[in-house]
């Protein structure tokens, strides 16, 4: 029980979600997953970049603090709930960008 007293909730959620994404990547690489690993990695990277950019813009615009763990959690959740898109699928990329912007802009947190 001492372990849970030292780890913040955001960090624990981040580790858990990262393990899920890593498992999805491994299963995809092994041919068990339904999506190509390139699509999953691309979707995760794009969602993370967009969430970081939106978070930076809002933090800078409103003079608020920023929590990188929350940004990563949002990006991973978006990656896991939206079907991974190929880099050449422009409507899918646009939807992923829009979902990441809305997801990050709608987060309310206290730092």
Q: What pLDDT was estimated at residue 25?
A: 95
Q: What pLDDT was estimated at residue 83?
A: 93
pLDDT tens string 40-97: 999 999 999 999 999 999 888 888 777 889 999 999 999 999 999 999 999 999 999 9
Q: What pLDDT was estimated at residue 63?
A: 82
Q: What pLDDT was estimated at residue 49?
A: 97
Residue 20 has pLDDT above 80, yes or no: yes
Query: How far is the C-alpha of 21 from the C-alpha of 17, rounded, in Å?
Result: 6
């Amino acid at each position: 029980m001492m372990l849970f007293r030292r780890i913040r909730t955001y960090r624990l959620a981040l580790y858990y979600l990262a393990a899920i994404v890593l498992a999805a990547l491994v299963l995809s690489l092994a041919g068990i997953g339904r999506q190509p690993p390139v699509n999953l990695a691309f979707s995760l990277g794009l969602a993370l970049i967009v969430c970081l950019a939106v978070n930076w813009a809002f933090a800078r615009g409103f003079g608020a603090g920023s929590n990188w763990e929350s940004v990563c959690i949002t990006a991973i959740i978006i990656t896991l709930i939206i079907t991974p898109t190929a880099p050449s699928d422009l409507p899918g990329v646009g939807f992923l960008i829009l979902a990441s912007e809305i997801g990050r802009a709608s987060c309310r947190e206290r730092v």
